Amino acid sequence: MKTNRSWIYGLLAIFLSLILFFYASTSQYQTQARTSGDIATETYTNTIKGVPLVLRYDSEKYFVSGFASEVNIDLSSSNRVLLSTETQESSRTFRVVLDLTKESPGLVEVPVTVEHLTSGVTAKVDPATISGTIGLKKSKTFKIDLASFLSQLPNGADVQLADGDREVTVTTNEDLLNQIAAVRMVLPDDWGTTKNYNGEVSLQALDVSGEVVPSVIEPETIAIRIQLKTEEKK
């Protein structure tokens, strides 16, 4: 009788041992699977601010204005090396594009796209869309408004332009060109009103309200000489 019981106990022990073995093996496999899954799906992200925006359009036919020149972009990848490569300006392969080639003249809102991004890296652009104006390109010649510039200077100041009375060519779209009332010189930031000046000044196209009209001016700057009046000694 004791022999039978010993035999039964032995079988139970073996059975329990097998159950524990399979349970331990299954638990270890599930743990390894979860760990492998976590590693495979771990994602790294980098944010790049001020990425240049490439505007694609027919620059011979159209003049565009109002579009942002830079965007921010979030790059994500499970591969740190790829992510680092695309983050660095010197090694990145992608570019951010605003394709206007299929748009008609007028106010438009266009989605921003990312081209040539390395496989394994995803991108999210902020803002996702950008608005601006497309217009037919037109140019016109204007004389520089010297009188308005003199009004900003101390009484008695003398201004001499490099080539006497200068004219410049302003390029913009049709609608904006009709809004231009004058082309004026801009006082240099580093110039004080108590000293003479001999150098370059930039130019701006303005409307009747004195607001800057988006345009390209050729030449962009002009050489001038500002001679202040010298008080005679008593």
Per-residue confidence band for 33, with pLDDT thresholds at 50, 70 and 90: very low
Instruction: For residue 192, give Cα distances in angstroms to 1, 133, 162, 187.
Output: 118, 38, 21, 10
Residue 217 CA to residue 198 CA, distance in Å, equals 21
Question: Looking at 69, 104, 135, which one is the last position of a domain?
Answer: 135
pLDDT digits (tens, 9 = 90+) for 173-217: 999 999 999 999 988 776 666 678 888 889 999 999 999 999 999
Q: Are residues 48 and 110 in the same domain?
A: yes
Q: Are residues 163 and 100 in the same domain?
A: no
Residue 113 CA to residue 101 CA, distance in Å, equals 13
Residue 231 clears pLDDT 90, i.e. is over it: no
- What integer is the mean pLDDT of 35-58? 82
Residue 234 lies in a domain: no
Please give the single-letter amino acid code of residue 31.
T
What pLDDT is stored for residue 41 in this prediction? Answer: 65
What pLDDT is stored for residue 150 in this prediction? Answer: 80
Q: What is the pTM of this model?
A: 0.72
Residue 156 and residue 217 in contact, taking contact as beta carbons nearer than 8 Å: no
Residue 168 and residue 91 in contact, taking contact as beta carbons nearer than 8 Å: no
Number of separate domains in the chain: 2
Q: Are residues 48 and 123 in the same domain?
A: yes
Residue 20 lies in a domain: no
Q: Which domain holds residue 75?
A: 44-135
Percent over 90 (pLDDT), the chain:
58
Residue 131 lies in a domain: yes
Residue 110 CA to residue 100 CA, distance in Å, equals 7
Find, among 96, 109, 108, the residue nearest to 135 by Cα: 108
Question: Looking at 135, 166, 185, which one is the last position of a domain?
Answer: 135
Q: What backbone phi and psi angles, to 5 degrees, belong to 34?
A: -65, -40
Nearest-10 Cα torsion for 19, 22, 28, 29 = -150
Find, among 87, 94, 91, 84, the residue nearest to 118 by Cα: 94
CATH code where residue 76 lies: 2.170.120.30
Q: Are residues 127 and 149 in the same domain?
A: no
Find, among 177, 66, 82, the residue nearest to 123 by Cα: 82
Residue 105 clears pLDDT 90, i.e. is over it: yes
Between 139 and 27, name the one with better pLDDT: 139
Find, among 197, 202, 199, 188, the residue nearest to 228 by Cα: 197
Please give the single-letter amino acid code of residue 184.
R
Per-residue confidence band for 18, with pLDDT thresholds at 50, 70 and 90: low
